[in-house]
Each structure stands twice: as structure tokens, then as C-alpha cells.
Amino acid sequence: MNNEPVVSLENATVEFETEGSLLNPFGEPDVVRAVNDVSLEIGDREIVTLIGESGCGKSTLGRTAIGVQKPTAGSVSYRGQDIWEARTGGDTEISYSEIRPALQMIHQDPGSALNPNQRIVTSLSLPLRRWQPELGRPERMERIHALFERVGMQPAEDFLNRYPHQLSGGEKQRAVLVRSLLLNPDLILADEAISALDVSLRVEMMDLMLELQELFDTSYLFISHDLSNARYIAEKSDGRIAVMYLGRIVEVGTVDEIIDNPQHPYTKALRWATPNLYGDDDGQPPIRTIDVPDPTALPVGCNFHPRCPNARELCEERSPPEIAASDDGHPCRCFRADEEHEYWDSSPVSKDSDDAVAVGGDQQ
């Protein structure tokens, strides 16, 4: 193992071509830029929580980070090794057969990882048989049993012999967590892994994931659309929260930086939309419209400007680069993070701008 980050994305972009519509079957396909020039590193034993509204590109970014989705531009590396170079069979320093088991995934729907026609034990044995064929059956079973008992599913034998439909939602999700840990991965992508669970089970599952993370020295990329879950995970693990909007990471930092001192207007809107976070649910929403722009026709300039209460004319023309936020130094993609920026001399685009300053409690 070298000292490189477990995973690093460098200016990664993912575009999808959509099929022609019924009204325009032979027209040019539309292009959705699901991930737009994202750079992010995830270190050893680090937890990064990715947050943002539906369709902003969280799953696509997660799949890109674990080498399942190929970036159309930019790159993704595992411990410094370009994953797609390794995947295409080149003579690489780290081979794909080393990378694949090191980067695992837990889906929102545990059913997709557990074959409905197979007993749990068969579904769980598969990755071990494929990636660690040197293990004999007794060693495989010992590993599976030990982990099942570790996640509180005992006697393991009883659960392992069942079919997926004979497990509750929480039990299925634990079985999938065990499956992802069996190969002792370096990083687990947990894509809305707790969203389908009852609220009462979510905290239990998050605690279990964190407990196992310490035990296995694993990193997590935890995807959620719920800022309170993101805060829970990041607070307990000293992790970071990355806020995503229309394909871009717009702000990334610790709980103190993102929840207590958000700089980006979109992060402020997310916080406002999660009133149980800090009770600042009064006043008007710090957003101009709830409508998300068409992802096939992204706004020119800052892609948040049509919804941003602080937008000025400059925001309609230029896209903000990543700027270190002025007061605590965490990265943010908004001109406002730079107190000296010419943004401040530009004219507000709507009357709302001034109102929103008051709503957001921002004195500048």
C-alpha cells in the first residue's frame, strides 16, 4: 500500500447522451453532464458524505469514484493508479484485479446485491470465490459467520440459509454490508444505503457502519439527500461533507464549516430545507425558485444563478472557480467567498437579492 489517496478524481466529467424522444426520434441526442469537472480525494479511513438534491449527479460521481462509470473527461485513480488504464488491461503498477475488490458498493436497494433465487450464503460466497479463490470453503464460511455475528445476525447459520424475501429490510441491508466488507475493501460507496430503512433503523445502521469502518480501516463515500444524516455521519467520524449541485461540488468541508458556517448560497438553502438541523426554519426560503434547470441545457455562468438569491450580473456571465472561503479556508464555488472579488461591484439581478441577504442572515 502506498501513501496516495485511496481514490482521487481529477477534473472528472461524465456526460450521457439521451435517446431521441417520440416527438423527435431522429434529432440530435441531448447531452446530460451528470458530473462536471469534479476533483476530490478520499484518503485512508476517511468518510466523505455527498449531499445534494435528486438528479444532481451523486450516484454518477460515486460510480465514477469506484471505477464503475468511466469519466468522459478527466481521470479517476486508485492509490495513484489510473483505474481505467488498469481496466483496459495495460501493464500497470496496480492491476485491475487488485483494484476491483478494494472498491465496493452498497446500493439503496439491497435486493440488487442479493439474488432472490439464491440463499444468502450463496450470494455472499460469490465475491469471495471470485476474488479470493485461494480460500477454501471452511475459511470462507468462517469469515462469513464471524461477520454475520458481528452485525448482530445470530445464529448466523439460521440467517445464511434463508432467501432474501425471508429477511426484513434492515436484515437485508446488514447482509449487504457484510457482503461489501468480506473482501476487506479500502473504500465502500454507500449510495443512499439507509434511505429505504425506517427512520428508527437509520441511526442504528449508521452506527453499525461507523463501528465496522473503524474495525476494518475502511473509507466510505456516503451518499445521502438528507443533510441531517450527512451531519450525523460526518460529526461522528470527523469526516467531510461535499455539497453537489448540477454536477459540480460547490462546497466541501467539515460539519463546522458546512453546517455551522456554510458559504455557498445552495448549502444555505439545503440547510434551510432541513429545519431540524438548527431550527432556522423561519423566514422565506433562501432560494428564488424550487425549479431545477434542465440538465441538458445548463445555465451559462454560475449554474446556480437562476435560483440564487444573491446572484449578480457577473454570475450570469462567468462560472466561479473553486475559491477558498475567506473566513475559514474551506473550498467553495461562489464569488462571494472572496471578499475582494469584482462580484461585489456587479449589480444584483433581482430585487430578491437584497431580501435574501436579510433572510440568509448575511450582512455583506
Sites of contact with Mg ion (CB under 5 A): 59
265 binds, among ligand ATP, Mg ion, ligand SF4, none (CB under 5 to 8 A by kind): ligand SF4
C-alpha cell at 1: 500500500
270 binds, among ligand ATP, Mg ion, ligand SF4, none (CB under 5 to 8 A by kind): none
Q: What is the DSSP code string of 188-238?
A: EEEESTTTTS-HHHHHHHHHHHHHHHHHHT-EEEEEES-HHHHHHHHHHHT
The residue (of 225 and 236) whose beta carbon lies closer to ligand ATP is 225
Q: Which does 253 bind (CB under 5 to 8 A by kind): Mg ion, ligand SF4, ligand ATP, none?
A: none
Amino acid at the residue 359: V
Compute the least distance from the CB of residue 62 to ligand SF4, in Å. 24
The C-alpha angle with vertex 60 and arms to 58 and 63, in degrees rounded to 5, equals 110
Interface pattern 273-302 for ligand SF4 (x via CB under 6 A): -----------------------------x
Q: Between 172 and 312, whose beta carbon lies closer to ligand SF4?
A: 312
Return the number of the residue (18 or 97) whose C-beta is nearest ligand ATP.
Answer: 18
66 makes contact, choosing from Mg ion, ligand SF4, ligand ATP, none, with CB < 5 to 8 Å by partner type, with none
- Contact segment (CB under 6 A) with ligand ATP among 55-63, 209-217, 227-235, 330-338 equals 55-63
* In the complex, least distance from residue 31 CB atom to ligand ATP, rounded to whole angstroms: 9
CA dihedral 265, 42, 236, 168 (to 10 degrees): 100
| CB of 307 or CB of 312, closer to ligand ATP | 307
Q: Distance between CA atoms of 56 and 69, rounded to whole angstroms?
A: 16
The answer to the question of residue 60 lying near ligand ATP (CB under 6 A) is yes
Among 60, 223, 304, 356, binds ligand SF4 (CB under 6 A): 304
Apex CA 291: angle with CA 228 and CA 330, to 5°?
45
- Closer by beta carbon to Mg ion, 223 or else 311: 223
8 A C-beta contact, residue 113 and residue 80 = no
Sheet holding 73-78, edge to edge: 31-42, 7-17, 73-78, 81-82
Residue 310 binds: one of ligand SF4, ligand ATP, Mg ion, none (C-beta under 5 to 8 A by kind): ligand SF4
164 part of the interface to ligand SF4, by CB under 6 A: no
Among 43, 55, 127, 299, binds ligand ATP (CB under 6 A): 55
| DSSP type of residue 259 | I
How many whole angstroms separate alpha carbon 154 and alpha carbon 157?
Answer: 7
Cα–Cα distance measured from residue 40 to residue 76, given in angstroms and rounded to the nearest whole number: 9
